[in-house]
A and B are shown apart, each in its own frame.
Chain A
Amino acid sequence: MSAALSLENVWVEYGDKIVLERINLDIDEGAFVSVVGPSGAGKSSLLKLVLGQAAPSRGKITLDGAPLKAECTPERGVVFQRYSVFSHLTVLGNTIFGLECEAAPIAGRLFGLKRKAAVERATEMLQAVGLGDALNLYPAQMSGGMQQRLAIAQALIKRPRILLLDEPFGALDPGIRADMHALITKLWREYSLTILMVTHDIQEAFSLGTRVLTLDKSRVDPHAPNRFGATVVYDLSLDRKIAREAELAGQQVDKTQSGVEELTSLPPESSITIDTICNK
């Protein structure tokens, strides 16, 4: 598998304060990467980097081999914990927003046949996330879980190269959270998404991800807490899961008869490898 997103020796520094240091990452196409770590370990900073909200002070980030611009562009979809949907638009309006921005640079809206086509695409997307019956509701009329479903649909309709999730299920009830886990796994498989998810919930990180990154400070100077930044201290590749996914995908591919080699070339044995290169 090719690396979709690469970070090469990336640092984030604000003056003397070092937030992230020596981040070297290759995120494969189709990977579901969970990022965990204590508060203040730069999880959000990492997400902001990939999102383009912030630029690295050193190092290079590339998406599909091209340098990543430090601005938010449609190659990257995002779902935040809160405020991810527009309160003034209905479910349908929220979902076609991305299509309208692309197709109507001046008016910002679509009319007639084009709108009809966009609505059709959006409806399909909304059915995939289980909001097919809620097309004309406003976010204020929906539960937190439904709002996050909408946020996911809204992001996915742009077919982003990488989907960024910033504690997307953190504010939800446990039952709803389980439903959302099932949903995001389903979407990840169906749409062959590449996902980078920041979470506080370690169980969630392992149950959803194919790879779990732990960010923390590898060195600490008690007299100058900002002297050293956080880096990737654990990089766990959940091979058993990857293999199972490949198997699942293989079964699907058998049915559809396409692109088998790449997926079946993975090692069949299941194990967890711990990358200790960056550890201490």
Chain B
Amino acid sequence: MSWLTSRDWAAGFRGNKVLLGLLPILALLILYLIVAADRNAINPAEKITPMPSAMLEAMWTLVFEKDQLSGRYLFWSDTLASLQRLGLGLGISTLTALVVGLLLGVLPTFRATFGMTVTSIAVIPPIALLPILFIVFGLGETAKVALIVVGIAPFMVRDLAAYIGDLPREQIVKAQTLGASTWQLMLRFALPQAMPRLIQALRLSLGPAWVFLISAEAIASDIGLGYRIFLVRRYLAMDVILPYVLWIAILAALIDWLLAESSRRLYPWAHGSEH
């Protein structure tokens, strides 16, 4: 894919490219192990850089044993709760972006009326709105999902609207000379053209979405990956925090990969000539 390399090179080395990408991660892990082993040798009660064995031990309880207080498998309940919030937030944002972005991009009247509102909302730092969300929606799930939506939807809307607005004018004229009405123009031209871009905007929003999720969970929650991390921070429990962070990274990468792959499958035309 890289423009520096020829296609043959890329094809021949595709397998090796993954290995190549893993090298720096491996190097970081080894570096951590060296530092951790060193510190643990000096102080067996070391908490900041736990050895993998300590992490496994701490995580074992969370993953495979029911919590005595709540009767839940904490690790899985945390994951489920966080993914549910994230999924809802991403879903609502995507749908909003699609509908509002399409209308803003296609209909000049709509853009003139609501364009400024969307921009104004987009420039407000979402975290500054969190207290309002908590006051309005209470401390429950709604406020957390709302924070994600408020955080990423305006960016996605604006990105999509700008993209649709920039679609070649010739294509719109061409569609009209082929008899397309405004509705058909939206349904058959703007919508399909927008989809790959929407997925791309969603992928770019994944990072911020996680930030808002963890923030909301850290401030007011009783379950969730972010909540757990901030809870055990009080005990300097790096043996839980580090595996949790790793788990979040894996989840985020997996979602990103799924989105990229589905875009390639569903919209091959948007991904160059290498179908």
Q: Among B174, B189, B193, B267, which residue has its beta carbon within 8 angstroms of that of A80?
A: B174
Q: In the complex, what's the smallest C-beta–C-beta distance from A14 to chain B, in angstroms?
A: 17
- The distance from the CB of A27 to the nearest CB of chain B, in whole angstroms, is 17
A88 touches B267 (CB 8 A): yes
Binds A, one of B109-117, B150-158, B179-187: B179-187
Question: Would you give 24 A-B contacts (Cβ < 8 Å), ordered by A?
Answer: A51-B177, A72-B173, A73-B176, A74-B179, A76-B177, A78-B173, A83-B168, A83-B170, A83-B171, A87-B270, A88-B193, A88-B267, A89-B192, A97-B175, A97-B178, A98-B178, A100-B188, A101-B179, A108-B188, A109-B188, A138-B275, A141-B273, A155-B174, A155-B178
A110–B192 Cα distance when bound, in Å, is: 17
Q: Does B269 contact A (CB under 8 A)?
A: yes
Q: Does B12 contact A (CB under 8 A)?
A: no
Beyond the given A80-B170, A83-B170, A154-B174, could you list 20 further A-B residue pairs with CB under 8 A, ordered by the A residue number? Answer: A73-B177, A76-B177, A77-B177, A80-B174, A84-B171, A86-B174, A97-B180, A97-B188, A98-B179, A100-B188, A105-B184, A106-B183, A108-B187, A138-B268, A138-B269, A138-B275, A140-B269, A155-B174, A155-B177, A158-B178
Q: Does B15 contact A (CB under 8 A)?
A: no
B272 at the A interface (CB under 8 A): yes
Contact between A74 and B168, CB atoms less than 8 A apart: no
Say which residue of A72, A82, A88, A105 sits within 8 Å of B177 (CB atoms).
A72
Question: Per-position contact with A for B241-275: 1 when CB-CB < 8 Å, else 0?
Answer: 00000000000000000000000000111101101
Complex-state Cα separation, A209 to B150, whole angstroms? 59
B249 to chain A, nearest CB (A): 34
Verify if A57 is at the interface (C-beta below 8 Å from B). Answer: no
Complex CA distance for A101 and B178, rounded to whole angstroms: 7
Binary contact readout A134-155 vs B (1 if CB under 8 angstroms, 0 otherwise) = 0000111100000000010011
Contact (Cβ within 8 A) B184 A101:
yes
The CA of A84 and the CA of B176, in the complex, are separated in Å by 12
Decide if B273 touches A140 in the complex (CB within 8 Å).
yes
- A140: chain B residues at CB < 8 Å are 269, 272-273
Among A78, A108, A139, contact of B174 (Cβ-Cβ < 8 Å): A78
The smallest C-beta distance from B271 to any residue of chain A, in angstroms, reads 9
B residues near A109, Cβ cutoff 8 Å: 188
Q: How many A-B residue pairs have CB under 8 A?
A: 90
Contacts of B170 in A (CB 8 A): 80, 82-84
Q: Per-position contact with B for A112-154: 1 when CB-CB < 8 Å, else 0? A: 0000000000000000000000000011110000000001001
Contact of A88 among B178, B181, B183, B269 (CB under 8 A): B269
Considering the complex, give the chain B residue whose CB is closest to the CB of A139. Answer: B269
Judge whether B177 and A101 touch: CB under 8 Å: no
Interface string of A91-103 (1 = CB under 8 A from B): 0000001101110
Name the residue on B nearest A78 (C-beta).
B177
Please tell me if the beta carbons of A72 and B273 are within 8 angstroms of each other in the complex: no
Chain B min CB distance to A35 (Å): 18
Q: Is the CB of A101 within 8 A of B174?
A: no
Contact at B181–A101, with CB atoms within 8 Å? yes
Contact B178 A74 (CB under 8 A): yes
Cα-based distance from A140 to B22 in the complex (angstroms):
33
Please determine whether B176 and A87 come into contact, CB atoms closer than 8 angstroms. Answer: no
- Complex: how many Å from CA A85 to CA B178? 11
- Min CB distance B163 to A, Å, is 13
Q: In the complex, A101→B187 CA distance in Å? A: 11
Closest CB of chain A to B98's CB: distance in Å? 15
Residues of B close to A271: CB separation below 8 A: none
B173/A88 in contact, CB under 8 A: no
Q: Shortest beta-carbon distance, A119 to chain B, in Å?
A: 16
In the docked arrangement, what's the CA distance between A76 and B178, Å? 9
Chain A residues positioned under 8 Å from B184 (CB to CB): 101, 105, 108
With both chains docked as a complex, state the minimum distance between the C-beta of A195 and any C-beta of chain B, in angstroms.
Answer: 14
Q: Does A8 contact B (CB under 8 A)?
A: no
Q: How far is the CB of A99 from chain B (nearest CB, A)?
A: 9
> B169's closest neighbor in chain A, by CB?
A83
The 5 A-B pairs at the shortest CB distance, nearest first, are namely A72-B176, A98-B178, A83-B168, A83-B170, A101-B179
**Residue of A whose beta carbon sits closest to that of B178:** A98
A59 interface residue, CB < 8 Å from B?
no
Evaluate contact between B192 and A88: CB separation under 8 angstroms: yes
Chain A: minimal CB distance from B36 (Å): 50
B269 & A102 in contact (Cβ 8 Å cutoff): no
CB-CB contacts below 8 Å: B100-130 with A:
none
Question: What is the CA–CA distance of A83 and B180 in the complex, to the nearest angstrom?
Answer: 17
Q: List chain A residues, Cβ under 8 A from B168.
A: 82-83
Partner of A51, one of B173, B268, B269, B270: B173
Which residues of B are found within 8 Å of A88, using beta-carbon distances?
Answer: 192-193, 267, 269-270
Per the bound structure, the CA–CA distance linking A85 and B192 in Å amounts to 14
Query: Which of A83, A139, A154 is in CB contact (< 8 Å) with B178?
Result: A154
Hey, which chain A residues are within 8 Å of B270, CB to CB?
87-88
Instruction: State whether the Cβ of A53 lies closer than 8 Å to any Cβ in chain B.
Output: yes
Point out the residues of chain B lying under 8 angstroms from A80, CB to CB.
Answer: 170, 173-174
A87 to B268, CA, bound (A): 10
